[in-house]
Amino acid sequence: MTTRHPATRGAGREALIAEAMLIPSRPADAERDWWRGGIFYEVYVRSFQDSDGDGVGDLRGVIDRLDYIRSLGVDGVWLSPFYPSPGEDFGYDISDFRNVDPQLGSLGDVMELIEACHDRDLKLLLDFIPCHTSEEHHWFVESRRARTGPRADWYIWADAAEDGGPPNNWLSSFGGGSAWTWEPRRQQYYYHPFLQCQPALNLRNPEVLEAVIDALRFWLDLGVDGFRLDAVQCLCWDDKLRNNPPRYDGDDQVRLGGGPSNPFARQQHLFDRDLPDAIPIIERLREAVDAYSPSRALIGELADLDSSRFAVKYTADGNRLHAVYDFDLINTDQTLEEWMHQLDIRSDFIGSGWLMNNFTNHDSIRAVSNLTSFAVDAGRTGEAAKLLLFLQATLRGGGIVFQGEELGLPQPELPYEALRDPWSINLWPDFVGRDGVRTPMPWDAQAAQAGFSTGAPWMPVPQEHLPFAVSRQEDDPDSVLSFFRALMAWRREVPLLRMGSERAGSRAAVPLVVFDRYDADRTLTVILNFSLAERWFAADPPATLLEDVPGSLAEMGEQGVRLPGLGFAVLDRGPPG
């Protein structure tokens, strides 16, 4: 039974923690590495469920829909930022790390949500942004006043170049302009790797790092299970402020959104991304979280670089991040062959590192439209969605499923006047942007605003999403939603899919994706057909076709395994030879 907590906005930290202590404690985790095989459901709060009719999703709406999330069979929930914010980047510009935006709820709602998740055996990860704040955060308000004072060096400040311009050539990834903005009160520039309203914290300053950790402790005290850490590639910067060299055609390319003309992609980001000094910062964050319990987890986001290759470094030695997710399988500037190559090489270099596999999140476009547009164009969106969900569920590592992926939602077309995302607006029309993935969740095809809100929604509900609404799929055994539930249940029954090793399939050839999952007792070969046509995969005895794989229409024949277009199969090869 979930207890509704009173609103506690304005209550002291001690009072809140005292109340949290009254919540019944959970049994100790039998498996401290629960996060390794976990599948998390990302909730973008503003677009999930509105409970009060103001057109904006809120924490109460998430609580109201927790039974739906639990029915999916996922292991936990990752919640997008709900902290007080001016909203320039819709919650990723934080003005107070230890409170709740009143439009989204209250601290009492958070406490109730924590308890409600735990009652349903769901872990809860909060989105946390350690690299920057809003320009309205009181830390920055104090820091920008003068070059002296208690918080004068809490942010990254630098003098102008000799010509009065920015200190160097570093660019914002959100539009390609300078990553430096002049502050007349200090007569210096401040650094912001993203939007101008998001000044970067000086995490080399021990006081700043401890202040960030204290904010983490606040939420840990209330009982959250861990955090998704935003943009960990930006934790540090070159203290000599050296210019980034240009990137020429043929050089390694950063993997990010923004379209082919984003100036950010024309630099090699040697001095503003992925600096060695980030590792001690990560280790200090891990130390603070481990002090609570070894079952709390830190999941990092790696973007703006060929990030799968850096996953080992950020998750090594058991004293850094527990896992990371990257954008190497999300970025839009790849052919199918290049994308499949990324899948293959991940098995080679990940080693002891740990990835959370992710094909869609709040910063990308919908996976079926991004990775299998050929199938969407052919009217086979549902089959493509099942294919991608099956791949995600069988790859080594955990997984992150963004809201609506379990429905197979395609990317909607939005007119310019409907855009809200500053990144989309800055790079229009070259960049599709993030607005399309953030449209309201379609719950009921027959209800106003698809059941998301009784008021005018903050973003339009795409009409093309109505056929995919939850109400249309709940009772259809062949729907993507029914498939996803069956897939999660099946995955729980195959332990090596959650914890086993992986190697790329030596006989894989486009359009087939083939890889092995194995442990000391068993080897499974996973085969997926990324084409609309039937394909065959040669299977030598004693391999047998698993018969209980949800949604699989594959058959064994004389030539091996026959896979229909967009089909998939799993071969059981028995103990490793």
Q: Which two tokens mark 455?
A: 């008021």
The answer to whether 390 and 344 have CB atoms below 8 angstroms apart is no
Residue in this structure with the two tokens 């209250």, named with its chain if needed: 106
| Residue 301 is among the residues annotated as catalytic for this protein | yes
The answer to whether 396 and 517 have CB atoms below 8 angstroms apart is yes
Cα torsion through 453, 457, 463, 464, rounded to 10: -90
Cβ count within 10 A of residue 372: 25
Give me the catalytic one of 301, 326, 328, 405. 301
Query: What separation in angstroms does the CA of 530 have from each of 179, 368, 387, 434?
Result: 40, 12, 8, 25
Give me the catalytic one of 115, 183, 230, 406. 230
Q: Which two tokens mark 506?
A: 């030596």
The answer to whether 497 and 570 have CB atoms below 8 angstroms apart is no
Classified as helix, coil or strand, 536 is: strand
The answer to whether 128 and 229 have CB atoms below 8 angstroms apart is yes
131, 355, 171, 156: which is closest to 254 by C-alpha?
171
Strand partners, 479: none
349, 97, 84: which is closest to 229 by C-alpha?
97
CA distance 344 to 353: 16
SS3 letters across 18-83: HHHCCCCCCCCCCCCCHHHCCEEEEECHHHCCCCCCCCCCCHHHHHHCHHHHHHCCCCEEEECCCC
- 361: DSSP letter: -
Between helix 206-222 and helix 278-290 the angle, nearest 10°, is 30
Q: Which two tokens mark 222?
A: 């209330």
Q: Is 559 exposed, middle or buried (0-12, 13-18, 19+ CB in 10 A)?
A: exposed
SS3 letters across 306-348: CHHHHHHHHHHHHCCCCEEECCCCCCCCCCHHHHHHHHHHHHH
322, 327, 298, 123: which is closest to 228 by C-alpha?
298
| Residue 230 is among the residues annotated as catalytic for this protein | yes
227, 232, 201: which is closest to 307 by C-alpha?
232
393, 383, 407, 385: which is closest to 565 by C-alpha?
383
CA distance 486 to 203: 44
246, 92, 74: which is closest to 169 by C-alpha?
246
Active-site annotation, residues: 230, 301
